[in-house]
A and B are shown apart, each in its own frame.
Chain A
């Protein structure tokens, strides 16, 4: 029996008091315990940013990598050992900005990774510059006249790129977020969990008080069908007075990338011997050149 406390670490987070990352962190520990996964059975991979420090504060296998490269490292780790549950925790700058190409590729690939994006719509660790998910017109130190770009919509992009599990949570509802992450952990391929979280220091505009009355759970709507891609695309556009959270799209019909790789049929790569066949069989490789 795994308990969320098994993931506790003596290292104390450096996050600000009231940071949305606390909610995300607690929800993740709950979900891992609910899924019956012990700390040595998971691999937490992050990039750089406030949220990316999460593995450092958690007792579990972890790898804090480079800014933006989270999903690339995680993809290699998953292909090398699909016996471990690979989970990414990184921010919107890391995931959608610096790592944008890896994001689209991971969605298309349907690699078996749970991708938790700590989306506070601002750069926190570098002290308050606008991010890909900052709203148009957002005023920051690097956008003094307001951000000129349109806001990046990760859920719509994920639908367009052929995502198989596309969801949004919010850090103010740990119970719902824990459920969402448990569902994501049970998904067969790439699971996007975009989490709206306040940055209490650098993004006061999107505070708990702003978000709380706006979010609503799509799963509470009887008519919502998460198997309907067109509906998911429409839901992904909804923003403003009402913001949908929950599973916008899900299908379990598509195999994960690693299920399609012949070399992985005989088990996790790292558990296989260095050579797939007896050494004498490799002599045939020289014959090719005769």
Chain B
């Protein structure tokens, strides 16, 4: 019997409540002191299709899902067909007998059948078919022996708004389903869940953590056009805008979004636009305006597979080089690529400080896997009192003392010009998207062009020295070093753990601050690597290309994936055989 080491998976059609049921159960596990990592998979449709929500549970921190499933809740027959091969021997499937499942198929794989009349229980005990999912949670709790008080607590929270009657009905349904499985399948499942003593933990996703980080940085303006998987950030701010004083704008298109953010940032407000690759493509010209006019904006690209519409609800890391190089002309920009939920929070606030310090666009590159895979985190994972650095921003007192005509684009040694916000009588200026002189006036003079170009590009070198070294996970002198970025670091960390448990020696180097690439620090982190394997969720090996271009260090092999589904630790180990 295994306690607190399993994966529970829910599969069904869009509209059947796969996500809400999954999130509810995951929350109940976190409240019981357990670590969870939840993986979501859904199609770009409102009804039908096949979606799943997969919850891996352990007593230690988890950075990714894996491929073994111990208990499947199948809301459709398709869910069984799809996921039966993933179920471990002695694992089981909960399903409504109405699905007419052939138990022999399950038995052939040593998988147990747990037919539970979910709808019948819901109707008999609660009076409504929609409570079948609550019955399913009760059944899962019964089979795993999980503590009912935690499940009941989540039901109370989830249905509290609908009134006591609805809460009571759901509690009755959950208990009835639990009793049913305890009677019908006593001690059948050898995978158990048990609450443990632990400090309270949050169940939070990358998009949520990034939003929280940005809010704590003082982001007061968020404009965006809905695009999966970036829109949850716009929604996060929209529902909190009144309470926390944030202006949010669902714009007519992404062109408007980035340009509104530029307008707001030019006036002095910390402003951000979240999007995905397709929306970012539309924002490229605007980003150049912010680069040339030295406006500190933050753009978040939550990547999905492209090009064009690509795989709308799925995962890829195909935009790294695009985000770094997208522009006509040249200007400095900063690109952060968080890989964990904690790093999402951190990137969320750091981007604003870097944007204002260097008066230039700062970008955060996240991805679908990171965006909506919630993980359990301790309350101390985020310190909400984040450092604030507004850079060379002239105070009201400094502006009062200005005697000479203000130069918005003053040529300085650092390249950063002291910034006045529009509105002070001593610093009336105009900024032009044409090349301009130090005052901001349109100027085509060759000498001025060189001066302003070099001034802007000096900021890139200063930022390079300011960015953080790559992060290492695993022992320092390993025989095998993985090089990765973004959310892929999660499954790679789990793969590193597995290799080290098997007596091999592996580590992973993750580059979070990708641009301007901190070349010296990246070189230092990689030059001792005995065997270097790039792991990326794209076709070309974009980070490996970047690292080779700037450090000369070449990977010995690449593990790649570009089918829209995130890597698992098993996939990485399996692919490793082919490249080593």
Residues of A at under 8 Å CB distance from B?
11, 38-41, 43-45, 48, 53, 55-56, 58-66, 68-69, 72-81, 83-84, 101-102, 104-105, 261-264, 266, 269-270, 272-277, 279, 282-283, 285-286, 289-290
Q: Does residue B202 face the partner (Cβ distance < 8 Å to A)?
A: yes
Question: Is the pair B241, A289 in contact by a Cβ cutoff of 8 Å?
Answer: no
CA distance A188 to B286 in the complex (A): 29
Decide yes or no: A77 and B266 within 8 Å by CB, A64-B430, A66-B285 being known contacts.
yes
Decide yes or no: A61 and B220 within 8 Å by CB, A80-B269, A286-B379 being known contacts.
no
B237-251 vs A: 1/0 string, CB under 8 Å? 000111011110101
Question: Is the pair B267, A81 in contact by a Cβ cutoff of 8 Å?
Answer: yes
Q: A76-B262, A83-B423 are in contact. List 18 more A-B contacts (CB 8 A).
A: A43-B422, A56-B430, A61-B428, A62-B429, A62-B431, A64-B431, A69-B255, A72-B255, A75-B249, A76-B267, A80-B265, A81-B269, A105-B252, A264-B247, A274-B217, A276-B244, A276-B246, A285-B212
Question: Is the pair B260, A56 in contact by a Cβ cutoff of 8 Å?
Answer: no
CA distance A5 to B262 in the complex (A): 30
- Stretch of B360-368, B381-389, B453-461 that contacts chain A: B381-389
Decide yes or no: A60 and B428 within 8 Å by CB, A45-B263, A76-B271, A274-B220 being known contacts.
yes
Question: Is the pair A79, B260 in contact by a Cβ cutoff of 8 Å?
Answer: yes
Decide yes or no: A286 and B384 within 8 Å by CB, A60-B430, A63-B266 being known contacts.
yes
Decide yes or no: A76 and B268 within 8 Å by CB, A263-B246, A290-B201 being known contacts.
no
Question: Is the pair A270, B421 in contact by a Cβ cutoff of 8 Å?
Answer: yes
Q: Which residues of B contact A83 (CB under 8 A)?
A: 423
Q: Give the interface SS of chain B, mostly helix, strand, loop or mixed.
A: mixed
Decide yes or no: A272 and B256 within 8 Å by CB, A56-B442, A63-B266, A282-B384 being known contacts.
no
Q: Which residues of A contact B265 (CB under 8 A)?
A: 76, 80
- Which residue of A has the minimal Cβ distance to B425? A40
CA distance A61 to B422 in the complex (A): 6
Q: B residues 259-318 with Cβ under 8 Å of A?
A: 259-271, 285-286, 289, 293
Can you name 9 A-B pairs with beta carbons within 8 Å? A65-B259, A76-B265, A80-B266, A102-B255, A264-B247, A276-B246, A277-B244, A279-B385, A286-B212
Q: Which residues of B contact A41 (CB under 8 A)?
A: 423
Q: Which residues of B contact A276 (CB under 8 A)?
A: 220, 244-246
Taking residues whose C-beta sits less than 8 angstroms from the other chain, chain B's interface range is 35 or more
Question: Is the pair A77, B431 in contact by a Cβ cutoff of 8 Å?
Answer: no
CA distance A101 to B425 in the complex (A): 34
Q: Across the A-B interface, give the 7 residue pairs with the lowest CB-CB distance, nearest first.
A: A76-B263, A274-B218, A276-B245, A62-B430, A76-B260, A289-B202, A72-B259
CA distance A81 to B204 in the complex (A): 34
Which among B256, B384, B422, B432 is the interface contact of A72 at CB below 8 angstroms?
B256
Q: Does residue B476 face the partner (Cβ distance < 8 Å to A)?
A: no
Decide yes or no: A79 and B247 within 8 Å by CB, A73-B263, A102-B252, A285-B215 being known contacts.
yes
CA distance A63 to B223 in the complex (A): 19
CA distance A74 to B200 in the complex (A): 45
CA distance A223 to B256 in the complex (A): 40
Which among B240, B252, B269 is the interface contact of A270 at CB below 8 angstroms?
B269
CA distance A48 to B432 in the complex (A): 10
Question: Is the pair A77, B208 in contact by a Cβ cutoff of 8 Å?
Answer: no
CA distance A282 to B218 in the complex (A): 12
Q: Which residues of B contact A101 (CB under 8 A)?
A: 252-253, 255-256
Which among A75, A81, A272 is the interface contact of B260 at CB below 8 angstroms?
A75
Q: Which residues of A contact B268 (CB under 8 A)?
A: 80-81, 270
Decide yes or no: A39 and B428 within 8 Å by CB, A76-B221, A289-B203 being known contacts.
yes
CA distance A63 to B260 in the complex (A): 13
CA distance A89 to B60 in the complex (A): 60
- Which residue of A has the minimal Cβ distance to B253? A101
CA distance A74 to B262 in the complex (A): 9
Decide yes or no: A66 and B289 within 8 Å by CB, A263-B220, A275-B218 being known contacts.
yes
- Whole-angstrom distance between the Cβ of B313 and the nearest chain A Cβ: 23
Decide yes or no: A74 and B263 within 8 Å by CB, A81-B422, A81-B423, A289-B208 being known contacts.
yes
Q: Does residue B499 face the partner (Cβ distance < 8 Å to A)?
A: no
Q: Which residues of B contact A53 (CB under 8 A)?
A: 442
Q: Does residue B35 face the partner (Cβ distance < 8 Å to A)?
A: no
Q: B residues 472-491 with Cβ under 8 Å of A?
A: none
Q: Does residue B433 face the partner (Cβ distance < 8 Å to A)?
A: yes
- Whole-angstrom distance between the Cβ of A9 and the nearest chain B Cβ: 9
- Whole-angstrom distance between the Cβ of B477 and the nearest chain A Cβ: 38
Q: Does residue B178 face the partner (Cβ distance < 8 Å to A)?
A: no
Question: Is the pair A80, B271 in contact by a Cβ cutoff of 8 Å?
Answer: yes
Which among A78, A263, A290 is the interface contact of B242 at CB below 8 angstroms?
A263
- Whole-angstrom distance between the Cβ of A170 and the nearest chain B Cβ: 26
CA distance A104 to B212 in the complex (A): 33
